[in-house]
Protein backbone atom coordinates (compact mmCIF):
# COMPACT_ATOMS: atom_id res chain seq x y z
CA UNK A 1 0.00 0.00 0.00
CA UNK A 2 1.32 3.44 -0.98
CA UNK A 3 2.06 5.78 1.94
CA UNK A 4 -0.32 8.76 2.22
CA UNK A 5 1.04 12.15 3.32
CA UNK A 6 -1.46 14.70 4.60
CA UNK A 7 -0.86 18.02 6.35
CA UNK A 8 0.45 19.16 9.75
CA UNK A 9 -2.08 21.47 11.41
CA UNK A 10 -2.57 22.31 15.06
CA UNK A 11 0.38 20.22 16.18
CA UNK A 12 -0.61 16.95 14.51
CA UNK A 13 -0.76 15.19 11.17
CA UNK A 14 -4.17 15.40 9.55
CA UNK A 15 -5.56 13.84 6.39
CA UNK A 16 -6.44 16.07 3.49
CA UNK A 17 -10.08 16.62 2.61
CA UNK A 18 -9.86 18.09 -0.89
CA UNK A 19 -9.88 14.72 -2.62
CA UNK A 20 -6.89 15.78 -4.72
CA UNK A 21 -3.48 14.12 -4.47
CA UNK A 22 -0.11 14.07 -6.21
CA UNK A 23 2.36 11.23 -6.57
CA UNK A 24 5.66 11.27 -4.71
CA UNK A 25 8.23 9.31 -6.72
CA UNK A 26 11.43 7.44 -6.09
CA UNK A 27 13.65 9.18 -8.65
CA UNK A 28 16.06 6.26 -8.68
CA UNK A 29 13.43 3.91 -10.12
CA UNK A 30 10.71 6.20 -11.48
CA UNK A 31 8.11 4.46 -9.33
CA UNK A 32 5.51 5.96 -6.97
CA UNK A 33 6.47 5.65 -3.31
CA UNK A 34 3.78 7.85 -1.72
CA UNK A 35 0.86 10.13 -2.39
CA UNK A 36 0.55 13.60 -0.93
CA UNK A 37 -2.73 15.42 -0.31
CA UNK A 38 -3.15 18.76 -2.06
CA UNK A 39 -4.83 21.35 0.14
CA UNK A 40 -7.94 23.24 -0.92
CA UNK A 41 -8.51 26.94 -0.27
CA UNK A 42 -10.69 26.02 2.71
CA UNK A 43 -7.98 23.79 4.19
CA UNK A 44 -5.43 26.59 3.89
CA UNK A 45 -7.88 29.01 5.52
CA UNK A 46 -8.34 26.57 8.41
CA UNK A 47 -4.57 26.28 8.91
CA UNK A 48 -4.28 30.08 8.93
CA UNK A 49 -7.09 30.33 11.51
CA UNK A 50 -5.29 27.83 13.74
CA UNK A 51 -2.00 29.73 13.32
CA UNK A 52 -3.57 33.12 14.12
CA UNK A 53 -5.05 31.76 17.35
CA UNK A 54 -1.74 30.21 18.45
CA UNK A 55 0.38 33.22 17.51
CA UNK A 56 -0.99 35.50 20.23
CA UNK A 57 0.43 33.49 23.11
CA UNK A 58 3.65 32.68 21.22
CA UNK A 59 4.28 36.40 20.57
CA UNK A 60 3.78 37.07 24.29
CA UNK A 61 6.44 34.47 25.14
CA UNK A 62 9.70 36.22 25.83
CA UNK A 63 12.42 35.88 23.15
CA UNK A 64 14.73 33.93 25.43
CA UNK A 65 12.15 31.18 25.93
CA UNK A 66 11.43 31.08 22.21
CA UNK A 67 15.17 30.70 21.61
CA UNK A 68 15.26 27.73 23.98
CA UNK A 69 12.68 25.95 21.85
CA UNK A 70 14.90 26.44 18.81
CA UNK A 71 17.93 25.15 20.71
CA UNK A 72 16.04 22.02 21.73
CA UNK A 73 14.91 21.57 18.12
CA UNK A 74 18.55 21.60 16.95
CA UNK A 75 19.38 18.78 19.36
CA UNK A 76 16.40 16.69 18.21
CA UNK A 77 17.30 17.11 14.54
CA UNK A 78 20.91 16.14 15.18
CA UNK A 79 19.71 13.01 16.96
CA UNK A 80 17.72 12.08 13.85
CA UNK A 81 20.20 13.33 11.27
CA UNK A 82 20.86 9.99 9.59
CA UNK A 83 17.18 9.05 9.24
CA UNK A 84 16.20 12.52 8.05
CA UNK A 85 18.99 12.56 5.47
CA UNK A 86 18.01 9.18 4.06
CA UNK A 87 14.35 10.20 3.92
CA UNK A 88 15.25 13.43 2.13
CA UNK A 89 17.55 11.59 -0.24
CA UNK A 90 14.90 8.98 -1.10
CA UNK A 91 12.39 11.59 -2.27
CA UNK A 92 14.75 14.13 -3.85
CA UNK A 93 17.54 11.96 -5.27
CA UNK A 94 20.54 13.79 -3.80
CA UNK A 95 23.12 11.62 -2.06
CA UNK A 96 22.91 11.06 1.69
CA UNK A 97 26.03 13.19 2.47
CA UNK A 98 24.55 15.98 0.33
CA UNK A 99 21.22 15.60 2.17
CA UNK A 100 23.03 15.96 5.48
CA UNK A 101 24.54 19.18 4.18
CA UNK A 102 21.06 20.36 3.21
CA UNK A 103 19.85 19.81 6.79
CA UNK A 104 23.00 21.23 8.38
CA UNK A 105 22.84 24.50 6.44
CA UNK A 106 19.27 24.85 7.66
CA UNK A 107 20.28 24.20 11.25
CA UNK A 108 22.93 26.90 11.02
CA UNK A 109 20.19 29.47 10.47
CA UNK A 110 18.24 28.02 13.42
CA UNK A 111 21.42 28.48 15.48
CA UNK A 112 21.62 32.09 14.34
CA UNK A 113 17.93 32.60 15.20
CA UNK A 114 18.57 31.52 18.80
CA UNK A 115 20.15 34.96 19.09
CA UNK A 116 16.64 36.45 18.96
CA UNK A 117 16.93 38.12 22.40
CA UNK A 118 19.75 40.24 21.02
CA UNK A 119 18.47 40.57 17.45
CA UNK A 120 15.07 41.84 18.57
CA UNK A 121 16.44 44.57 20.81
CA UNK A 122 15.28 48.04 19.89
CA UNK A 123 17.04 51.40 20.27
CA UNK A 124 16.76 53.95 23.06
CA UNK A 125 17.56 57.66 23.10
CA UNK A 126 17.36 59.41 26.45
CA UNK A 127 16.81 63.17 26.59
CA UNK A 128 16.03 63.43 22.88
CA UNK A 129 14.25 66.63 23.87
CA UNK A 130 13.63 68.32 27.19
CA UNK A 131 12.30 65.55 29.40
CA UNK A 132 11.59 63.36 26.33
CA UNK A 133 12.87 59.85 25.64
CA UNK A 134 12.46 57.91 22.38
CA UNK A 135 12.69 54.16 22.01
CA UNK A 136 11.80 51.52 19.43
CA UNK A 137 10.69 47.93 19.66
CA UNK A 138 10.52 45.11 17.13
CA UNK A 139 7.25 43.22 17.09
CA UNK A 140 6.13 40.18 15.08
CA UNK A 141 4.00 40.58 11.98
CA UNK A 142 1.51 37.87 12.91
CA UNK A 143 1.00 34.92 10.55
CA UNK A 144 3.54 34.55 7.74
CA UNK A 145 3.96 32.04 4.91
CA UNK A 146 6.90 30.16 3.45
CA UNK A 147 6.65 28.62 -0.02
CA UNK A 148 9.71 26.48 -0.54
CA UNK A 149 11.30 24.46 -3.38
CA UNK A 150 12.00 20.78 -4.01
CA UNK A 151 15.78 21.12 -4.30
CA UNK A 152 16.38 21.98 -0.62
CA UNK A 153 13.47 20.42 1.28
CA UNK A 154 15.12 20.97 4.67
CA UNK A 155 17.39 23.99 4.29
CA UNK A 156 14.99 26.51 2.81
CA UNK A 157 12.04 25.68 5.12
CA UNK A 158 14.41 26.13 8.07
CA UNK A 159 15.77 29.38 6.64
CA UNK A 160 12.20 30.65 6.61
CA UNK A 161 10.90 29.13 9.84
CA UNK A 162 13.84 29.87 12.15
CA UNK A 163 13.81 33.69 12.10
CA UNK A 164 10.03 33.87 11.65
CA UNK A 165 9.32 31.76 14.73
CA UNK A 166 12.08 33.29 16.83
CA UNK A 167 10.60 36.71 16.14
CA UNK A 168 7.22 35.60 17.53
CA UNK A 169 5.30 34.89 14.34
CA UNK A 170 3.23 31.86 13.43
CA UNK A 171 3.99 30.28 10.06
CA UNK A 172 2.23 28.38 7.32
CA UNK A 173 4.80 26.35 5.37
CA UNK A 174 3.90 25.18 1.87
CA UNK A 175 6.77 22.90 0.81
CA UNK A 176 7.22 21.29 -2.57
CA UNK A 177 4.78 18.46 -3.18
CA UNK A 178 7.64 16.51 -4.79
CA UNK A 179 9.47 15.80 -1.50
CA UNK A 180 7.18 16.69 1.42
CA UNK A 181 8.18 14.12 4.06
CA UNK A 182 11.12 15.94 5.66
CA UNK A 183 9.26 19.28 6.14
CA UNK A 184 6.46 17.31 7.82
CA UNK A 185 8.90 15.60 10.18
CA UNK A 186 10.68 18.87 10.97
CA UNK A 187 7.35 20.39 12.01
CA UNK A 188 6.77 17.45 14.36
CA UNK A 189 10.24 17.95 15.87
CA UNK A 190 9.49 21.63 16.49
CA UNK A 191 6.46 20.62 18.54
CA UNK A 192 8.52 17.99 20.39
CA UNK A 193 11.00 20.77 21.18
CA UNK A 194 8.26 22.81 22.86
CA UNK A 195 6.77 24.92 20.07
CA UNK A 196 3.07 25.40 20.90
CA UNK A 197 0.68 23.51 18.66
CA UNK A 198 -0.52 25.63 15.75
CA UNK A 199 2.43 28.02 15.63
CA UNK A 200 3.95 26.09 12.70
CA UNK A 201 1.60 24.40 10.24
CA UNK A 202 2.49 22.56 7.03
CA UNK A 203 0.00 22.49 4.17
CA UNK A 204 0.95 20.45 1.15
CA UNK A 205 -0.45 21.61 -2.13
CA UNK A 206 -0.12 23.13 -5.57
CA UNK A 207 -1.15 26.47 -7.09
CA UNK A 208 -4.51 26.46 -5.31
CA UNK A 209 -2.77 26.41 -1.93
CA UNK A 210 -0.27 29.06 -3.03
CA UNK A 211 -3.00 31.40 -4.25
CA UNK A 212 -4.96 30.87 -1.05
CA UNK A 213 -1.94 32.07 0.93
CA UNK A 214 -1.36 35.03 -1.37
CA UNK A 215 -4.92 36.29 -1.08
CA UNK A 216 -5.71 35.62 2.57
CA UNK A 217 -5.76 38.86 4.55
CA UNK A 218 -4.33 37.20 7.68
CA UNK A 219 -1.03 36.39 5.93
CA UNK A 220 1.25 39.38 6.48
CA UNK A 221 4.42 38.26 4.68
CA UNK A 222 5.43 35.66 2.12
CA UNK A 223 8.87 34.13 1.52
CA UNK A 224 9.50 32.13 -1.64
CA UNK A 225 12.34 30.29 -3.40
CA UNK A 226 11.90 28.72 -6.84
CA UNK A 227 11.95 29.61 -10.52
CA UNK A 228 12.01 33.23 -11.66
CA UNK A 229 8.58 33.26 -13.38
CA UNK A 230 6.93 31.93 -10.22
CA UNK A 231 8.98 34.24 -7.98
CA UNK A 232 7.82 37.21 -10.02
CA UNK A 233 4.20 36.02 -9.87
CA UNK A 234 4.27 35.48 -6.12
CA UNK A 235 6.00 38.80 -5.47
CA UNK A 236 3.60 40.83 -7.59
CA UNK A 237 0.52 39.06 -6.22
CA UNK A 238 1.61 39.25 -2.60
CA UNK A 239 2.54 42.92 -2.74
CA UNK A 240 -0.66 43.76 -4.62
CA UNK A 241 -2.49 42.25 -1.65
CA UNK A 242 -0.58 44.39 0.82
CA UNK A 243 1.88 41.75 1.98
CA UNK A 244 5.59 41.97 2.57
CA UNK A 245 7.42 39.63 0.17
CA UNK A 246 10.90 38.24 -0.49
CA UNK A 247 11.03 36.00 -3.55
CA UNK A 248 14.13 34.37 -4.98
CA UNK A 249 14.27 32.89 -8.47
CA UNK A 250 16.57 31.33 -11.02
CA UNK A 251 20.27 31.69 -11.71
CA UNK A 252 23.01 31.31 -14.27
CA UNK A 253 26.08 31.46 -12.10
CA UNK A 254 29.40 32.27 -13.80
CA UNK A 255 32.86 31.27 -12.62
CA UNK A 256 35.64 33.39 -14.10
CA UNK A 257 38.97 31.58 -14.32
CA UNK A 258 41.93 33.91 -14.71
CA UNK A 259 45.24 32.85 -16.34
CA UNK A 260 46.98 32.99 -12.94
CA UNK A 261 44.42 30.74 -11.23
CA UNK A 262 45.28 27.38 -9.69
CA UNK A 263 43.71 25.36 -12.50
CA UNK A 264 43.67 22.08 -10.61
CA UNK A 265 41.70 23.66 -7.78
CA UNK A 266 39.47 25.46 -10.30
CA UNK A 267 38.73 22.20 -12.12
CA UNK A 268 38.06 20.30 -8.90
CA UNK A 269 35.71 23.01 -7.67
CA UNK A 270 33.96 23.33 -11.01
CA UNK A 271 33.15 19.64 -11.12
CA UNK A 272 31.70 19.72 -7.62
CA UNK A 273 29.83 22.99 -8.09
CA UNK A 274 28.54 22.14 -11.55
CA UNK A 275 27.48 18.53 -11.08
CA UNK A 276 26.80 18.15 -7.35
CA UNK A 277 23.15 17.32 -6.59
CA UNK A 278 22.78 16.71 -10.36
CA UNK A 279 23.06 20.46 -10.89
CA UNK A 280 19.75 21.07 -9.11
CA UNK A 281 21.01 24.02 -7.05
CA UNK A 282 20.28 27.70 -7.53
CA UNK A 283 23.93 28.33 -6.63
CA UNK A 284 25.39 25.71 -9.00
CA UNK A 285 28.07 26.93 -11.38
CA UNK A 286 26.63 26.46 -14.86
CA UNK A 287 29.00 28.69 -16.89
CA UNK A 288 32.79 28.66 -16.62
CA UNK A 289 34.52 31.65 -18.22
CA UNK A 290 38.24 30.97 -18.76
CA UNK A 291 40.23 34.05 -19.77
CA UNK A 292 42.56 33.34 -22.70
CA UNK A 293 42.82 30.36 -25.04
CA UNK A 294 45.66 28.75 -23.14
CA UNK A 295 43.65 28.88 -19.90
CA UNK A 296 40.56 27.52 -21.66
CA UNK A 297 42.35 24.63 -23.34
CA UNK A 298 44.02 23.54 -20.12
CA UNK A 299 40.83 23.88 -18.10
CA UNK A 300 38.73 21.86 -20.55
CA UNK A 301 41.27 19.04 -20.53
CA UNK A 302 41.39 18.95 -16.72
CA UNK A 303 37.58 18.95 -16.57
CA UNK A 304 37.33 16.11 -19.08
CA UNK A 305 39.70 13.98 -17.00
CA UNK A 306 37.75 14.58 -13.82
CA UNK A 307 34.33 14.11 -15.41
CA UNK A 308 35.39 10.71 -16.75
CA UNK A 309 35.91 9.56 -13.15
CA UNK A 310 32.53 10.70 -11.79
CA UNK A 311 30.18 8.04 -10.51
CA UNK A 312 26.45 8.58 -11.01
CA UNK A 313 24.17 6.14 -9.25
CA UNK A 314 21.51 5.41 -6.67
CA UNK A 315 21.34 8.20 -4.11
CA UNK A 316 21.90 5.75 -1.23
CA UNK A 317 25.00 4.25 -2.84
CA UNK A 318 28.00 5.47 -0.86
CA UNK A 319 30.09 5.52 -4.07
CA UNK A 320 27.73 7.87 -5.95
CA UNK A 321 28.97 11.41 -6.56
CA UNK A 322 25.43 12.41 -7.45
CA UNK A 323 22.10 10.71 -8.03
CA UNK A 324 19.07 11.15 -10.27
CA UNK A 325 17.12 14.26 -11.16
CA UNK A 326 13.97 14.82 -9.13
CA UNK A 327 11.36 14.10 -11.83
CA UNK A 328 10.87 12.61 -15.27
CA UNK A 329 10.03 16.10 -16.55
CA UNK A 330 13.32 17.40 -15.15
CA UNK A 331 15.27 14.71 -17.02
CA UNK A 332 13.37 15.44 -20.22
CA UNK A 333 14.07 19.15 -19.90
CA UNK A 334 17.81 18.59 -19.42
CA UNK A 335 18.01 16.20 -22.38
CA UNK A 336 16.18 18.76 -24.52
CA UNK A 337 18.71 21.45 -23.58
CA UNK A 338 21.63 19.18 -24.52
CA UNK A 339 20.04 18.68 -27.93
CA UNK A 340 19.50 22.42 -28.26
CA UNK A 341 23.16 23.07 -27.43
CA UNK A 342 24.27 20.69 -30.17
CA UNK A 343 21.98 22.34 -32.71
CA UNK A 344 23.18 25.80 -31.73
CA UNK A 345 26.76 24.81 -32.54
CA UNK A 346 28.39 24.41 -29.14
CA UNK A 347 31.12 21.77 -28.89
CA UNK A 348 29.77 18.79 -26.95
CA UNK A 349 32.90 17.61 -25.14
CA UNK A 350 31.17 15.14 -22.79
CA UNK A 351 27.67 13.83 -23.55
CA UNK A 352 25.69 12.54 -20.55
CA UNK A 353 22.56 11.49 -22.41
CA UNK A 354 23.40 7.82 -22.79
CA UNK A 355 24.10 7.14 -19.14
CA UNK A 356 22.37 4.01 -17.80
CA UNK A 357 22.68 3.01 -14.15
CA UNK A 358 22.66 -0.77 -13.93
CA UNK A 359 19.68 -2.03 -11.98
CA UNK A 360 17.96 1.36 -12.17
CA UNK A 361 17.35 1.67 -15.88
CA UNK A 362 14.06 3.54 -15.34
CA UNK A 363 15.58 6.09 -12.98
CA UNK A 364 15.91 9.75 -13.93
CA UNK A 365 19.68 9.84 -14.34
CA UNK A 366 21.62 12.15 -16.64
CA UNK A 367 25.39 11.91 -16.89
CA UNK A 368 27.69 14.92 -16.52
CA UNK A 369 27.66 16.98 -19.71
CA UNK A 370 30.26 19.51 -20.82
CA UNK A 371 29.86 22.06 -23.61
CA UNK A 372 32.75 24.18 -24.90
CA UNK A 373 32.78 27.34 -27.05
CA UNK A 374 29.35 28.42 -25.85
CA UNK A 375 28.34 31.91 -26.96
CA UNK A 376 25.97 34.41 -25.38
CA UNK A 377 23.33 34.07 -28.11
CA UNK A 378 22.78 30.38 -27.31
CA UNK A 379 19.83 29.25 -25.20
CA UNK A 380 22.07 26.99 -23.13
CA UNK A 381 23.90 30.15 -22.06
CA UNK A 382 20.88 32.35 -21.56
CA UNK A 383 18.50 29.98 -19.75
CA UNK A 384 18.67 28.07 -16.49
CA UNK A 385 19.01 24.35 -17.25
CA UNK A 386 18.96 23.10 -13.63
CA UNK A 387 20.78 19.90 -14.42
CA UNK A 388 24.29 18.41 -14.71
CA UNK A 389 25.31 20.55 -17.70
CA UNK A 390 28.36 22.82 -17.58
CA UNK A 391 29.11 25.35 -20.32
CA UNK A 392 32.49 26.88 -21.19
CA UNK A 393 32.25 30.43 -22.54
CA UNK A 394 35.73 31.50 -23.67
CA UNK A 395 36.86 35.13 -23.53
CA UNK A 396 40.11 36.91 -24.33
CA UNK A 397 40.22 39.52 -21.57
CA UNK A 398 39.17 40.05 -17.97
CA UNK A 399 36.87 42.94 -18.87
CA UNK A 400 34.94 40.70 -21.24
CA UNK A 401 34.51 38.09 -18.51
CA UNK A 402 33.23 40.75 -16.13
CA UNK A 403 30.81 41.99 -18.79
CA UNK A 404 29.33 38.52 -19.29
CA UNK A 405 28.44 38.23 -15.62
CA UNK A 406 27.14 41.79 -15.46
CA UNK A 407 24.95 41.61 -18.54
CA UNK A 408 23.24 38.29 -17.85
CA UNK A 409 19.64 38.71 -16.66
CA UNK A 410 20.31 36.58 -13.57
CA UNK A 411 22.47 37.80 -10.70
CA UNK A 412 22.42 35.17 -7.99
CA UNK A 413 26.03 34.10 -7.45
CA UNK A 414 29.35 34.46 -9.22
CA UNK A 415 32.92 33.37 -8.56
CA UNK A 416 36.40 34.35 -9.67
CA UNK A 417 39.49 32.16 -9.41
CA UNK A 418 42.74 34.10 -9.35
CA UNK A 419 45.93 34.60 -7.36
CA UNK A 420 45.70 38.38 -7.78
CA UNK A 421 44.26 40.29 -4.85
CA UNK A 422 43.88 43.40 -7.00
CA UNK A 423 41.87 41.53 -9.64
CA UNK A 424 39.67 39.87 -7.04
CA UNK A 425 39.03 43.16 -5.26
CA UNK A 426 38.11 44.91 -8.50
CA UNK A 427 35.82 42.06 -9.50
CA UNK A 428 34.00 41.96 -6.16
CA UNK A 429 33.42 45.70 -6.29
CA UNK A 430 32.19 45.89 -9.89
CA UNK A 431 30.27 42.68 -10.55
CA UNK A 432 26.48 43.11 -10.63
CA UNK A 433 25.61 40.05 -8.59
CA UNK A 434 24.26 39.46 -5.09
CA UNK A 435 26.84 36.93 -3.86
CA UNK A 436 30.50 36.69 -4.87
CA UNK A 437 33.07 33.97 -4.31
CA UNK A 438 36.82 34.55 -4.51
CA UNK A 439 38.39 31.13 -5.10
CA UNK A 440 35.14 29.81 -3.62
CA UNK A 441 32.83 28.21 -6.21
CA UNK A 442 29.52 28.28 -4.31
CA UNK A 443 29.50 31.50 -2.26
CA UNK A 444 26.54 30.74 0.02
CA UNK A 445 27.11 33.07 2.99
CA UNK A 446 27.25 31.77 6.53
CA UNK A 447 24.05 32.11 8.53
CA UNK A 448 24.82 35.44 10.19
CA UNK A 449 25.33 37.14 6.83
CA UNK A 450 22.56 37.57 4.29
CA UNK A 451 21.68 35.45 1.25
CA UNK A 452 20.08 36.97 -1.83
CA UNK A 453 20.46 37.47 -5.57
CA UNK A 454 20.14 40.55 -7.74
CA UNK A 455 18.41 41.31 -11.03
CA UNK A 456 15.91 38.61 -11.98
CA UNK A 457 17.24 36.27 -9.33
CA UNK A 458 15.59 38.17 -6.49
CA UNK A 459 12.49 40.26 -5.84
CA UNK A 460 12.11 42.29 -2.66
CA UNK A 461 14.24 44.59 -0.53
CA UNK A 462 15.29 42.19 2.24
CA UNK A 463 17.22 38.94 1.89
CA UNK A 464 17.19 35.55 3.59
CA UNK A 465 18.85 34.82 6.92
CA UNK A 466 21.25 37.11 8.71
CA UNK A 467 19.96 40.38 10.24
CA UNK A 468 17.74 40.95 7.18
CA UNK A 469 15.59 37.98 8.18
CA UNK A 470 14.62 39.56 11.49
CA UNK A 471 13.90 42.85 9.77
CA UNK A 472 11.68 41.02 7.30
CA UNK A 473 9.67 39.16 9.92
CA UNK A 474 9.16 42.10 12.30
CA UNK A 475 7.73 45.61 12.25
CA UNK A 476 9.25 48.49 14.15
CA UNK A 477 7.23 50.56 16.59
CA UNK A 478 8.72 53.80 17.89
CA UNK A 479 7.59 55.36 21.18
CA UNK A 480 8.16 58.99 22.16
CA UNK A 481 7.44 59.62 25.85
CA UNK A 482 7.59 62.28 28.51
CA UNK A 483 6.34 62.39 32.05
CA UNK A 484 4.75 65.46 33.70
CA UNK A 485 7.02 67.16 36.20
CA UNK A 486 4.47 69.37 37.89
CA UNK A 487 1.50 68.70 40.13
CA UNK A 488 -1.66 67.10 38.77
CA UNK A 489 -3.97 69.69 37.26
CA UNK A 490 -1.19 72.05 36.17
CA UNK A 491 -1.22 72.80 32.42
CA UNK A 492 1.25 74.44 30.09
CA UNK A 493 -1.50 75.11 27.55
CA UNK A 494 -1.97 73.85 24.02
CA UNK A 495 0.63 74.18 21.28
CA UNK A 496 -0.23 74.44 17.59
CA UNK A 497 3.37 74.18 16.35
CA UNK A 498 4.80 70.94 14.99
CA UNK A 499 6.81 69.34 17.82
CA UNK A 500 10.59 69.70 17.64
CA UNK A 501 13.35 68.46 19.89
CA UNK A 502 15.07 71.78 20.50
Q: If you average pLDDT over residues 368-380, what whole number do you get? A: 98
- pLDDT of 179 above 80: yes
Model pTM score: 0.95
Residue ranges of the domains in the chain? 3-249+457-478, 253-438
What is residue 454's three-state secondary structure?
A: strand
**pLDDT per residue over 276-321, tens digit each?**
999 999 999 999 999 999 999 999 999 999 999 999 999 999 999 9
Does the pLDDT value for residue 492 go beyond 90? Answer: no
Looking at CATH, the fold of the domain delimited by 253-438 is given as Aldehyde Dehydrogenase; Chain A, domain 2 (3.40.309)
**pLDDT for position 488:** 66
CA distance readout (Å), 36 to 9, 20, 84, 315, 494:
15, 9, 18, 22, 65
pLDDT above 80: residue 95: yes
Over range 265-273, report the average pLDDT: 98
Instruction: Supply the pLDDT for residue 489.
Output: 63
* Percent above pLDDT 90 for the chain: 95
Grade residue 500 by pLDDT with cuts at 50, 70 and 90.
confident
The reported pLDDT for the residue numbered 490 is 67
Q: Is the pLDDT of residue 468 over 70?
A: yes
Q: What is the pLDDT of residue 496?
A: 81
**Per-residue model confidence (pLDDT) at position 40:** 98
Is the pLDDT reported for residue 216 higher than 70?
yes
In this prediction, residue 502 carries a pLDDT of 67
How much is the pLDDT for 189?
98
Burial class of residue 53, CB neighbours in 10 A (0-12, 13-18, 19+): middle
Q: What percent of the chain has pLDDT over 70?
A: 98
Rounded alpha-carbon distances, angstroms, from residue 204 to 17, 18, 173, 210: 12, 11, 8, 10
Confidence of residue 494 (pLDDT cuts 50, 70, 90): confident
Dist CA 101 CA 106 (whole Å): 8
- In the predicted model, is pLDDT for residue 257 greater than 80? yes
Rounded Cα–Cα distance for residues 351 and 340 (Å)? 13
Strand duo 244-248 + 21-26: pairing:
unpaired
- Classify domain 3-249+457-478 by CATH number: 3.40.605.10
Contact status, residue 169 vs residue 142, Cβ threshold 8 Å: yes
> What is the b/e burial string over 274-300, where b = at least 16 CB atoms within 10 angstroms of the residue's CB?
bbbbbbbbbbbbbbbbbbbeebbebbb
What's the chain's average pLDDT? 96
Predicted pLDDT of residue 497? 83
Which listed residue (282, 378, 401, 424) is catalytic? 282
Is 315 known to be catalytic? no
Helix, strand and coil content of the chain, in percent to the nearest 5, comes to 40, 25, 40
pLDDT average, residue stretch 82-105: 98
Q: Which of 3-7, 340-344, 440-444, 491-495 has the lowest mean pLDDT?
A: 491-495
- Would you state the pLDDT for residue 484? 84
- CA 424 to chain CA centroid, Å, is 26
Amino acid sequence: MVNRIGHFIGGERVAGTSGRTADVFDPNTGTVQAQVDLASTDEVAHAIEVAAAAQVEWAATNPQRRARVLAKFIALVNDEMEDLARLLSAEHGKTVPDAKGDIQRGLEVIEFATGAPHLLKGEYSTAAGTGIDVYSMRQPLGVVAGITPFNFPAMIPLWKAGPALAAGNAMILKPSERDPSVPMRLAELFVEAGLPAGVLNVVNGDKEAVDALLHHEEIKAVGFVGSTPIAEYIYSTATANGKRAQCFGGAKNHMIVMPDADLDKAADDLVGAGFGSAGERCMAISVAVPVGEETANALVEKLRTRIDKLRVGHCHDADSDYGPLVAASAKERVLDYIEVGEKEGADLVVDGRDLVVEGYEDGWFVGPTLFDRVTTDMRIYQEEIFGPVLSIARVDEYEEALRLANEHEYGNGVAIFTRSGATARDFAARVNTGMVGVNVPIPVPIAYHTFGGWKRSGFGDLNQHGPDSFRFYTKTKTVTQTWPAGEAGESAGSSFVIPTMD
